[in-house]
Amino acid sequence: MDDRTIRDHDTREVESEASRAEAPWAPPSILPDPTPQDGWTFRWIRSSMMGVADNTNVSKKFRGGWTPCRAEDHPELCILSDVGSRFGTDGNIEVGGLLLCKMPEEKVVERSNYYRKIAEDQMAAVDANYMRENDPRMPLLDSERKTRVDFGRGGQ
């Protein structure tokens, strides 16, 4: 009888603390995230659709500053690369017709600023077109692009 372990040492509290340390289960992503690298932004670029190569899209993205990631730089993703794909056989990472590419963060910020400026110019043109119909006898309301969200009792 002395060979048995004491039940007081085996508690559910100890087991539940160990299981709480692990991240909760979530469904896996279709596209894996590469290991982050300082100064780089990653993006999956469409290289084919329904088995047909989309060379025009890939060429446009390359001219826009995206460069394909080398498989040796991301060994954790190499087993996922498509078998027999054009870019996969060249030593890059292609999953489901999407090619993993990267761009320096500075260029990504410049690109975002460029497209933000285009969007602002378009909104200014829309506002100008709207306001050109303005008549002092019956003025149009200025467009207001502010939002406010309240929760509960009137924002208290």
Mean pLDDT taken over the chain: 80
110 and 98 co-located in one domain = no
Structural contact between residues 90 and 57, judged by C-beta atoms closer than 8 angstroms: no
Interval 41-63 mean pLDDT: 91
47 and 91 co-located in one domain = yes
The domain total for the chain is: 2
Predicted pLDDT at 152: 75
pTM (2 decimals)?
0.63
DSSP 103: E
95 and 113 co-located in one domain = no
Domain of 121, in residue numbers: 105-133
Which tokens hold the place of 111? Answer: 């690109």
Report if residue 125 sits inside a domain: yes
62 and 78 co-located in one domain = yes
